[in-house]
């Protein structure tokens, strides 16, 4: 039995490697970006690769590599069931509808006439999103039909930059106001530069167009709740909105106390992860006016250090396990479990 790990410093792999070393779990390091990746994986049972949606190279081929390995009976983290909808809010809308998961009502159009017909008859405000992006960078409030028509014109015309540069600049201003330190000041300079210079991701990705996506706006949410389920265990953070803004993700204002969390959201996440057979599922929740929790988006990955301050986790029966834990270890344990199921002779 051997695991293959693609190591990207600062990603999950730091802790995967530590865990393997400390527990004598056989592993080898591989480089997924090399042409001979299949050869490198020849004597391995599973590949673990924490790839990020902002890695324009990974986005080009990570899914294709994953599906190909699965076709050969190898295990992967994240596998196809876990990752196909990653950084794709349009895909997530269909998935939630197919599985009857409670998601904020979402609308997608692939044709300008249909989009305009809908805009002319629906109510506002609505929330406009691109299918990709994180930290609320591609999420905007649309106040009226005129603004929505303008977005439709752009969606079926020139299209949008894959990452909203102006939003990034506004965020840099927000971080300076929040932190008032040197790093935030530097970030603002970078943000100003970024208004004019596209990132490599933007250049490589091309423009987002040919679809228009809106969500029903859920008013009076001053935070969102993120629940992450891995291998039957769930943990949570609360993110408060930026000052004077309806958007929470990316604000950096985070709450960890157990009493902040609605166990209905935990239940939904654990159940949906099981139904989807997802190895790792992160759901962002807000509330409708009747205080029912609704999913705003799904993901598989997350920023490691943010969750180190979680004070415990829930199991499948919603029992609370107080104390520190390492979610990346849950991932390796799950992978070893999957290998054992597939190859009982090795255990
Ligand atoms: N339909 C909505 N109604 C109200 N607030 C929303 C809605 N959708 C998103 N938000 C807010 O905007 C933030 C970013 O939206 P989200 O879809 O999660 O995008 P991202 O992928 O950038 O995190 C959320 O954290 C939430 O606070
Ligand atoms: Mg989000």
DSSP assignment string, 256-286:
--GGG--HHHHHHHHHHHHHHT-SEEEEEEE
Among the bound ligands, the one closest to the CA of 141: 1
Asked whether 164 lines ligand 1 (CB < 6 A), one says: no
298 CA → ligand 2 middle, Å: 8
The overall average pLDDT reported for the chain is: 93
In this predicted model, what pLDDT tens digit does every residue of 62-79 receive, in sequence order?
999 999 999 999 999 999
Asked whether 167 lines ligand 1 (CB < 6 A), one says: no
Q: Look at ligand 1, atom 22, and give the residue with the nearest C-alpha.
A: 136
In three-state secondary structure terms, 4 is: strand
Asked whether 221 lines ligand 1 (CB < 6 A), one says: yes
Among the bound ligands, the one closest to the CA of 282: 2
* Other Cβ atoms closer than 10 A to 307: 21
Query: Do the Cβ atoms of 96 and 268 come closer than 8 Å?
Result: no
Which of ligand 1's atoms lies nearest the C-alpha of 250? 23
Domains of the chain: 3-78+332-346 (3.40.50.20), 104-216 (no CATH), 223-325 (3.30.470.20)
Which of ligand 1's atoms lies nearest the C-alpha of 216? 1
Residues lining ligand 2 (ion), CB within 5 A? Answer: 249, 284, 297
User: No. of H helices and E strands in the chain?
Assistant: 12, 15
Ligand 1 pocket test, candidate residues 108, 130, 139, most atoms within 8 A of CB: 139
In this predicted model, what pLDDT tens digit does every residue of 152-169 receive, in sequence order?
999 999 999 887 777 777
DSSP assignment string, 19-76:
HHHHTT--EEEE-TTSTTHHHHTTT-SEEEE---TT-HHHHHHHHHHHHHHHHTT-EE
User: What pLDDT sits at residue 51?
Assistant: 97
User: What pLDDT sits at residue 30?
Assistant: 98
Residue 329, Cα to own-chain centre: how many angstroms? 19
Q: Which residue has the higher pLDDT, 334 or 188?
A: 334
* pLDDT above 70 as % of the chain: 98
- Distant-in-sequence contacts of 334-343, Cβ < 8 A, 24+ apart: 334/77, 334/230, 334/231, 334/279, 335/3, 335/46, 335/48, 335/75, 335/77, 335/279, 336/25, 337/231, 338/46, 338/75, 339/1, 339/45, 339/46, 339/75, 342/45, 342/73, 342/75, 343/1, 343/45
Which of ligand 1's atoms lies nearest the C-alpha of 299? 21
Pairing of the two strands 320-322 and 27-30 = unpaired
Residue 48, Cα to own-chain centre: how many angstroms? 17
User: What pLDDT sits at residue 198?
Assistant: 74
In this predicted model, what pLDDT tens digit does every residue of 81-137 receive, in sequence order?
999 999 999 999 999 999 999 999 999 999 999 999 999 999 999 999 999 988 888
> How far is Cα 339 from Cα 3, in angstroms, rounded to an integer?
10
Query: Is the pLDDT score of 291 beyond 90?
Result: yes
């Amino acid at each position: 039995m051997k695991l293959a790990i693609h190591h990207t410093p600062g990603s999950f792999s730091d802790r995967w490697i530590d865990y393997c070393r400390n527990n004598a779990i056989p592993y080898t390091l591989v480089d997924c970006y090399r042409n001979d990746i299949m050869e490198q994986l020849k004597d391995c049972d599973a590949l673990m690769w924490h790839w990020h949606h902002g890695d324009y190279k990974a986005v080009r081929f990570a899914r294709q590599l994953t599906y190909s390995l699965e076709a050969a009976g190898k295990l992967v983290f994240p596998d196809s069931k876990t990752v196909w909808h990653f950084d794709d809010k349009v895909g997530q809308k269909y998935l939630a509808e197919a599985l009857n998961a409670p998601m904020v009502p979402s609308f997608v159009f692939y044709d300008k006439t249909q989009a305009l017909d809908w805009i002319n008859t629906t109510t506002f405000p609505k929330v406009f999103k691109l299918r990709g992006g994180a930290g609320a960078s591609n999420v905007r409030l649309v106040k009226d039909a005129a603004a929505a028509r303008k977005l439709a014109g752009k969606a079926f015309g020139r299209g949008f930059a894959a990452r909203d540069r102006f939003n990034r600049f506004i965020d840099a201003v927000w971080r300076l106001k929040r932190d008032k330190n040197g790093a935030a000041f530097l970030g603002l300079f970078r943000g100003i530069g970024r208004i004019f210079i596209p990132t490599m991701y933007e250049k490589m990705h091309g423009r987002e167009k040919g679809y228009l996506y809106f969500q029903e706006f859920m008013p009076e949410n001053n935070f969102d709740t993120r629940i992450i389920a891995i291998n039957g265990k769930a943990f949570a953070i609360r993110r408060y909105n930026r000052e004077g803004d309806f958007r929470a993700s990316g604000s950096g204002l985070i709450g960890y106390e157990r009493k902040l969390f609605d166990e209905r959201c935990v239940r939904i996440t654990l159940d949906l992860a099981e139904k989807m057979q997802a190895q790792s599922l992160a759901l962002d929740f807000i509330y409708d006016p009747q205080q029912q929790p609704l999913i705003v988006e799904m993901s598989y990955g997350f920023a490691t250090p943010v969750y180190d301050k979680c004070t415990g986790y829930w199991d499948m029966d919603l029992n609370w396990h107080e104390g520190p834990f390492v979610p990346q270890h849950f991932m390796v344990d799950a992978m070893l479990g999957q290998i054992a199921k597939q190859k009982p002779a090795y255990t």
